[in-house]
């Protein structure tokens, strides 16, 4: 038996075992896992996903590179034998960015329940990707278009030595900062603004030309963590541009270093020039915390 055939057999066996545990049965036939395309109606599944993004090239599938979307889609296709299955995400996190509550959705003709999908996915996916919750929705739900808000968090470790358990999730900056000035500057980002100065190019001139740079920020705050070792920036908005949160944090650091002032934020909005704002901080400190959804998707 060649490697690919053997691996497929292993995956099928694991999925069958997981599904049997869900049903409390030891006689669940393999056809329960590999649902046929005939005699089956289309179903819609929503996933709540957490991941450590360190070892992945972001959310969006890329050829010959490990991504969150790619890993989950590969398992879904093996479980269902539906090779056209597509997983939609509420947001396309960049390489190295983490998530506590990313939302994904897909449609399938498999007869697996949402809970069986959750168990089988968690049995096969790497431990750095976990399906926290799965539920069936109506056909109107799409993870990307049904999201009306996202919360991101960026962590800056201010102590002298970063504990090994968290080094993958924080930016280490133990140097002096004017944190009061940074907090004042944080309030300037709330509201509807043109964020051209705080976003990277998409990599496509055509997309850059057509996309709107206006975004609404509902709330933003910069606080010390409970143990007083971290400076934590939390922002809630409807949607975000590429690198937008990381550019905002880089700009706040420049305010803290007194290279910029709080009043300069309004000037940067008016300039619409990304070269004038602060640097794009490293990705490891950023986490997608939560996605807010329209409630109408529930069955």
The catalytic residue positions are 94
Q: What is the 3-state secondary structure (H, E, C) of 174-188?
A: CCCCCHHHHHHHHHH
Q: Is 57 exposed, middle or buried (0-12, 13-18, 19+ CB in 10 A)?
A: middle
Q: Provide Rg for the chain, Cα atoms.
A: 22
Q: Is 286 exposed, middle or buried (0-12, 13-18, 19+ CB in 10 A)?
A: buried
CB-hemisphere CA count at 13 Å for 171?
A: 22
Reported in sequence order, the residue ranges of 109-146 that DSSP labels E, i.e. its strands, are 129-137
Q: How many CB atoms are located within 10 Å of the residue 203 CB?
A: 8
Q: Are 53 and 60 in contact (CB under 8 A)?
A: no
Q: Are 254 and 230 in contact (CB under 8 A)?
A: no
**Main-chain phi, psi angles of 61, to 5 degrees:** -60, 135
Residue 229, SS3? coil
């Amino acid at each position: 038996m060649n490697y690919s055939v053997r691996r497929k057999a292993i995956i099928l066996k694991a999925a069958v075992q997981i599904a049997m545990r869900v049903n409390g049965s030891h006689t669940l036939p393999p056809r329960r896992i590999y649902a046929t395309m005939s005699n089956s109606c289309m179903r819609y599944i929503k996933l709540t996903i957490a991941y450590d993004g360190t070892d992945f090239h972001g959310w969006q599938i890329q050829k010959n590179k490990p991504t969150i979307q790619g890993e989950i889609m590969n398992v879904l296709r093996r479980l269902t034998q539906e090779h056209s299955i597509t997983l939609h995400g509420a947001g396309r996190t960049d390489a190295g960015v983490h998530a506590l509550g990313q939302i994904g959705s897909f449609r399938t003709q498999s007869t697996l329940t949402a809970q069986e999908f959750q168990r089988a996915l968690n049995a096969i996916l790497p431990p750095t990707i976990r399906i926290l919750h799965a539920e069936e929705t109506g056909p109107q739900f799409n993870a990307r278009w049904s999201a009306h808000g996202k919360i991101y968090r960026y962590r800056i470790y201010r102590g002298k030595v970063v504990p090994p358990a968290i080094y993958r999730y924080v930016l280490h900056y133990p140097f002096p900062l004017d944190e009061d000035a940074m907090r004042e500057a944080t309030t300037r980002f709330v509201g509807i603004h043109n964020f051209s100065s705080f976003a990277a190019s998409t990599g496509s001139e055509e997309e850059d030309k057509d996309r709107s740079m206006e975004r609404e920020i509902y709330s933003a705050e910069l606080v010390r963590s409970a143990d007083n070792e971290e400076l934590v920036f939390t922002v809630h908005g409807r949607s975000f541009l590429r690198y937008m949160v990381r550019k905002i944090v880089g700009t706040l650091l420049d305010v803290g270093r007194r290279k910029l002032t709080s009043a300069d934020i309004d000037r940067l909005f008016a300039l619409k020039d990304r070269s004038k704002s602060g640097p794009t901080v490293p990705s490891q400190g950023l986490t997608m915390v939560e996605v807010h959804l329209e409630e109408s998707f529930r069955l």
